[in-house]
Amino acid sequence: MPSAQDPFYFVKQEIQDSIDKLQSTFNQWENTPDAAERSHLSKELLSTCESIEWQVDELDKAIAVASRDPSLYGIDEVEIENRRRWTSSAHAQVRTVKKAAEAGKGSNTTNHASVNGMHKELMRLPNSHQTDTSNKYAVQDNDDFIESESDRQMLLIKRQDEELDELTLSVQRIGGVGLTIHEELLAQEKIIDELGSEMDSTSNRLDFVQKKVGMVMKKASAKGQIMMILGLLALFIFLFILVFFT
């Protein structure tokens, strides 16, 4: 679940604001020389600590529920661990302030030294607000990486689609060329068939003429045969011109 929609982050921000205010009050309490004011601030610190502890405890309960099935809430084990780490840090800060406020009720040297020790311990604790900011940056980096990978995948898919479109067009062009060649072959085959038919017809005519010439030559005299041959030759030339030049 994105951080902008996760209730955890709203509650966490409210608690963080309370912790920041608690630390500000603690600094004011620490630097106040007036005993009455210091006593009043001590009560305020203790009351605020109890309130924050209750809120963090409730947040821990919610984290425990989410840890049973993180995927159901759209998070993972790393996020669960980060949330636990933040609540632990918040608990530590509140406990440190609470101990310092309780120890500061007295005015002896021992209590003053204890307060100073608590202050040093508080200063050594990790700043949960900085941790939160780092986590946000990490989440943002992850989101940017996922978005970048998604854009890259979409670009690859788009390129593949374009290549498939080009391949489809090439196949269609090849298919068109093949169809044209097929049609040309059919036309050539038809022309060859027609030419063969004409050759057969001409051959039959020549055979018929030759038979007639043979019959006439047997019946005619030598002179007549010569005239007949010339006439047939002229007829043959005429038929040849008629067949091949018309």
CA-based nearest residue to 97, from 5, 178, 6, 29 = 29
Rg (CA), the chain: 54
Q: Positive or negative CA dihedral for 232, 238, 244, 246?
A: negative
CA-based nearest residue to 229, from 212, 244, 243, 241 = 212
32-54, pLDDT tens digit by residue?
888 888 888 888 889 999 999 99
**Predicted confidence band at 2 (pLDDT cuts at 50, 70, 90)?**
very low
* Residue 45 contacts residue 26 (beta carbons within 8 Å): yes
> Which pLDDT belongs to residue 87?
92
> Which pLDDT belongs to residue 142?
55
Residue 38 CB contacts under 8 Å (≥ 6 apart), including other chains? 29, 32, 104
Residue that has been written with the tokens 């440190």 in this structure: 96
Q: Is 12 exposed, middle or buried (0-12, 13-18, 19+ CB in 10 A)?
A: buried
Cα(120)–Cα(122) distance, integer angstroms? 5
**Predicted confidence band at 199 (pLDDT cuts at 50, 70, 90)?**
confident
**Predicted confidence band at 55 (pLDDT cuts at 50, 70, 90)?**
very high
CA-based nearest residue to 30, from 117, 110, 116 = 116
* Residue 103 contacts residue 114 (beta carbons within 8 Å): yes
99-153, pLDDT tens digit by residue?
888 876 654 433 444 445 455 444 444 454 555 555 555 555 556 666 666 777 8
What are the backbone dihedrals phi and psi of residue 5, each rounded to the nearest 5 degrees, phi first? -115, -5
Highest-pLDDT range among 81-90, 131-140, 210-219: 81-90
Look at 32-41, 118-127, 168-177, 202-211 and tell me which has the smallest mean pLDDT.
118-127
Average pLDDT over residues 235-241: 84
> Which pLDDT belongs to residue 57?
92
**Count of residues making up the chain:** 246
> Which pLDDT belongs to residue 124?
45
* Residue 77 contacts residue 70 (beta carbons within 8 Å): yes
Question: In this predicted model, which residue has the larger pLDDT, 244 or 90?
Answer: 90
60-82, pLDDT tens digit by residue?
999 999 888 888 888 889 999 99
Mean pLDDT, the chain, rounded, equals 78
> Which pLDDT belongs to residue 109?
39
* Residue 115 contacts residue 100 (beta carbons within 8 Å): yes
> Which pLDDT belongs to residue 108?
41
> Which pLDDT belongs to residue 106?
52
Average pLDDT over residues 164-190: 86
* Residue 16 contacts residue 93 (beta carbons within 8 Å): no
pLDDT surpassing 70 at residue 244: yes
